[in-house]
Amino acid sequence: MNTDNPNNDLSSDDSANDSSANNSLSENSAPGHLMPSAEDLQKYFQTAAFTVSAAKLTQCPANVGLEVAFAGRSNAGKSSAINRLTGQKKLARISKTPGRTQLINFFGLRDEQRLVDLPGYGYAKVALAKKLEWQKHLEQYLEKRSSLTGLVLVMDVRHPLQPFDSIMLDWVKQYETHCHILLTKADKLKRGPAMQALFEVQKAVKDQEHTSVQLFSATNGTGLEEARETLFSWLHPQE
Ligand SMILES: Nc1nc2c(ncn2[C@@H]2O[C@H](COP(=O)(O)OP(=O)(O)O)[C@@H](O)[C@H]2O)c(=O)[nH]1
Ligand SMILES: [Mg+2]
């Protein structure tokens, strides 16, 4: 059954398209973790609703409950990933002008759980001073948000592990946050090259604790259920 939001014109059955379910390091679902059905996961993420945009830490919602933040270079596909995960085509505005918005966008799920769209980085037209200011705000966010339970690091599968991504991976190590890498736009590559990219990134992060990686596509739903399961387990640590 397809219970996707009517706004979503990607009308294919999510689970049928999830062709990469076994492709990731499978360290995300703790033993005994009760995982809802694909349909219930979809319903859970569909409850996401925009809460607030923050230009700095003091404007963020109360630091209670748990949240998962999406980081990545401008244009990597963060907003598209959030839209696909929540089954809401227009939730996180997909910008055709990369780097324009420098705001942290919060989307509330049920029970003080949130998804957070962090500002993009790496767009050439953003001045250096702006980039440094952004970096300061982002680091403050990562350091001070005790409700931050995990970071989704979104990379274009065709250009993974850029300098920005390495900075993020260092911070993940420093702040001991979970990290799940989405190698997105997997629909742009044939299976062979996509798997090759997956193996390379897996190899690069194999010594990094609490870090996993998978293929993803906001366009055709590759890896959708796997990503939802990872985020759900982070947001429900006791279940
Ligand atoms: N083919 C394909 N294009 C994608 C995918 N995800 C994002 N895009 C495109 O990449 C561009 C940037 O996406 P966006 O979500 O705005 O990136 P953000 O800057 O990281 O939030 C847009 O033109 C999207 O349509 C995907 O999985 N497959
Ligand atoms: Mg965006």
Question: Residue 148: what pLDDT?
Answer: 96
**pLDDT value of residue 235:** 97
pLDDT at site 125: 62
Report the share of the chain in percent with pLDDT over 70: 80
Atom from ligand 1 closest to the CA of residue 99: 19
Domain ranges of the chain: 22-235
pLDDT tens-digit readout, 168-178: 999 888 888 89
Cα 61 to Cα 67: distance, rounded to the nearest angstrom? 11
According to DSSP, the residues that pair with 72 across neighbouring strands are: 154
Q: pTM to 2 decimals?
A: 0.85
Question: From the CA of 32, how far away is ligand 1's center (Å)?
Answer: 35
Categorize the per-residue pLDDT at 103 as very low, low, confident or very high, splitting at 50, 70 and 90: confident
The tens digit of pLDDT for each residue in 22-75 reads 433 334 444 556 899 999 999 999 999 999 988 888 899 999 999 999 999 888
Residue 210 has pLDDT above 50, yes or no: yes
Q: What is the pLDDT of residue 56?
A: 80
The predicted structure's pLDDT at residue 175: 86
Measured CA to CA, the distance from residue 142 to residue 174 in angstroms comes to 10
Q: Distances from the Cα of 127 to the Cαs of 78, 122, 123, in angstroms?
A: 22, 10, 9
pLDDT given at position 97: 57
Overall average pLDDT of the 132-145 stretch: 84
Q: How far is CA 220 from CA 102, 188, 235, in A?
A: 28, 10, 25
- Contact present, 184 and 156 (Cβ < 8 Å): yes
- Mean residue pLDDT of the chain comes to 84
DSSP character at residue 118: P
Q: Choose which residue among 75, 83, 97, 220 to substitute to test ligand 1 binding: the one with the highest number of ligand atoms within 8 A of its C-beta.
A: 75
CATH number given to 22-235: 3.40.50.300
Taking residues 74-83, report their average pLDDT: 93
pLDDT, tens digit (0-9, with 9 covering 90-100), for 152-208? 999 999 999 998 899 899 988 888 889 999 999 999 999 999 999 999 999 999 999
CA 134 to centroid of ligand 2, rounded, Å: 15
pLDDT of residue 122: 62
Beta carbons within 8 Å of 205's beta carbon, 6+ residues apart: 169, 179, 181, 211, 213
**Which pLDDT band holds residue 140 (cuts at 50, 70, 90)?**
confident
Atom 4 of ligand 1, residue of closest alpha carbon: 185
Q: Are strands 104-108 and 113-117 parallel, antiparallel or unpaired?
A: antiparallel
Please compute the mean of the pLDDT values over residues 97-101 and round it to a whole number. 54
Q: What is the arithmetic mean of pLDDT over 113-119?
A: 93
The pLDDT value recorded for residue 163 is: 87
State in Å: Cα 216 to ligand 1 middle.
11
Q: Is the pLDDT of residue 228 over 50?
A: yes
Select from 20, 82, 94, 134 the residue to mutate for testing ligand 1; criterion: most ligand atoms less than 8 Å from CB.
Answer: 94
pLDDT at 111: 87
Q: How many CB atoms lie within 10 A of CB 113?
A: 22
Report how far apart, in Å, the C-alpha atoms of 93 and of each of 99, 102, 103, 156, 222 are: 13, 13, 12, 18, 21
Mean predicted confidence (pLDDT) in 99-110: 80
